[in-house]
């Protein structure tokens, strides 16, 4: 019985333990507009500092005036990822943190929980795709649902830790083309095509292959292989990347 109890503890610990290196927190980055709001615009905006830490604000714009509601952050503590918020009108302005209890890397769902807080006890972020987000705040009896759309795109630069990968170019029929390669930026288990690579030291992209570094990254969507819409090109999400 004692052995079974120990095994159960180990299993429960494994369930609630996430490798933060593979948690796709970079999906939070950008400016998000809440849908179906009358008489005002409500935004949530996330950014990084030069160390790669992620923080944000929740604010609304009404009659041309901007007012901040919350200061947000994603923080690491003793190997755990916490979602923290300072709501100026609540809790005497003290920071309240929610621990990441569930994470689905396929569906991009983050469930943060703090059972000691009155409401909400859980905050759930679900990224339906790169540009659409749903957020739910709830306790065991009720909940509120919000939908957000990314606005202005990820036109800013963000400091992200990742590595550059080199992959053989594969044509439309699935055949590798000798001597031609694509480069991808891998961050938190997600790979993005690299549209360009620039640095201040006249070094080549090959010098940075497979090295875990902090890069300055901007996210885009469009043609991969050409700037001309009249030319055939792959299309999708891509990054421009600079050495930090």
Q: For residue range 141-200, what is the model confidence (pLDDT) as tens digits?
A: 999 999 999 997 555 889 999 999 999 999 888 899 999 999 999 999 999 999 987 765
Whether 215 and 198 have beta carbons less than 8 Å apart is answered as no
User: Which domains, ranges and CATH numbers included, belong to the chain?
Assistant: 2-151 (2.40.128.20), 158-243 (no CATH)
Is it the case that residue 10 has pLDDT exceeding 80? no
Does the pTM exceed 0.75? yes
Task: Please report which helix (H) or strand (E) contains residue 204, including its range.
Answer: none
pLDDT score, position 172: 81
Overall average pLDDT of the 194-215 stretch: 82
> Which residue, 53, 51, 47, 71, is CA-closest to 157?
47
CA 78 – CA 81 distance, rounded (Å): 9
Is it the case that residue 2 has pLDDT exceeding 80? no
**Widest CA span in the chain:** 70
Overall average pLDDT of the 215-220 stretch: 91
Residue spans of beta strands (DSSP E) within the chain: 30-34, 41-48, 54-62, 65-77, 80-87, 95-104, 109-113, 122-129, 132-138, 143-151, 158-170, 176-187, 190-198, 213-223, 235-243
Residues 29-65 pLDDT 10s: 999 999 999 999 999 999 998 888 999 999 999 999 9
């Amino acid at each position: 019985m004692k052995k079974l109890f120990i095994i159960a503890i180990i299993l429960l610990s494994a369930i609630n333990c996430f490798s933060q290196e593979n948690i796709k927190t970079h999906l939070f980055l950008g400016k998000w507009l809440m849908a179906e709001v009358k008489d005002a615009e409500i935004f949530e905006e996330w950014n990084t500092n030069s160390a790669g830490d992620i923080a944000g604000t929740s604010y609304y714009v009404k009659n041309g005036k901007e007012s901040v509601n919350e200061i947000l952050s994603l923080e690491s503590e003793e190997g755990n990822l916490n979602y923290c918020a300072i709501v100026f009108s609540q809790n005497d302005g003290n920071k309240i943190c929610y621990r990441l209890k569930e994470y689905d890397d396929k569906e991009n769902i983050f469930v943060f929980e703090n059972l000691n807080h009155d409401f909400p006890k859980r905050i759930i972020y679900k990224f339906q795709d790169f540009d659409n987000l749903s957020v739910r705040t709830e306790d065991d009896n009720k909940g509120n649902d919000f939908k957000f759309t990314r606005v202005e795109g990820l036109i800013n630069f963000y400091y992200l830790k990742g590595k550059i990968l080199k992959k053989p170019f594969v044509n439309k029929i699935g055949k590798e083309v000798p001597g031609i390669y694509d480069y991808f930026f891998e961050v938190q288990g997600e790979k993005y095509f690299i549209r360009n690579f620039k640095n201040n030291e006249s070094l080549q992209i090959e010098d940075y292959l497979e090295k875990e570094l902090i890069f300055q990254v901007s996210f885009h969507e469009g043609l991969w292989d050409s700037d001309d819409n009249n030319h055939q090109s792959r299309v999708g999400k891509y990054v421009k990347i600079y050495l930090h």
